[in-house]
Amino acid sequence: MGPTLAGFQNFIRNTMGITPAQLPSDAGVIPMALAVALAIANPVMKLWCIPQTDAANVPLNSGGLSIYNLAVYNLAASNLINYAQDPAGRSYFTRLRKKLNITGFVSGIVQSSSDEGTSVSLVVQDAAKAFTLANLTQLKDPYGRQYLALAQSFGPTSWGIS
């Protein structure tokens, strides 16, 4: 079974910890964030499954949790952080975007830094050299980073295409 609106709403409440007061369940941004994630996430990830078992190691289902579902929900969560507007009198998303510096422009990844006494150089993976502005934005929040980690498991680029 693929990602669903109900599954994403569950992810919002139980994984992200966002309450209905912070984001009402009928907010139009929820299906929009999911739709964008569904359009972007690589469907090849549907091939991977995480087997689900109970405490006695008895299978709970035959298919397990799809890595694709997990990737889509994480990407949709990243989208939600970027798109959601706060209800009147609330500032959850405004404060979160400020904390994560979501609106700050980043044109790339630091490869080298130095001053008179110190020097630091980080290895920049090849995939990062091809990051889009969307990928650079996804790096700013934990859900976007998790999506990129899953997506890059399929190849040297964030899309999983060589």
Which residues in the chain land under pLDDT 70?
Answer: 48-54, 57-65, 106-113, 120-133, 136, 155-162
DSSP 157: S
Angle between helices 142-151 and 67-83 (to 10 degrees): 150
Q: How many CB atoms lie within 10 A of CB 4?
A: 13
Query: What is the rounded distance in angstroms from the CA atom of residue 124 to the CA atom of residue 22?
Result: 37
Please list the alpha-helical segments (H only) found in the chain: 5-10, 29-40, 67-83, 92-99, 126-129, 133-138, 142-151
User: Which among 96, 87, 70 has a CA at the least distance from the CA of 22?
Assistant: 87
Residue pair 63/49 in contact (Cβ under 8 Å)? The answer is: yes
Predicted local distance difference test score (pLDDT) of residue 151: 83
Residue ranges of the domains in the chain?
A: 5-154
Predicted local distance difference test score (pLDDT) of residue 43: 81
Please list the alpha-helical segments (H only) found in 28-116: 29-40, 67-83, 92-99
Question: What pTM does this model have?
Answer: 0.75
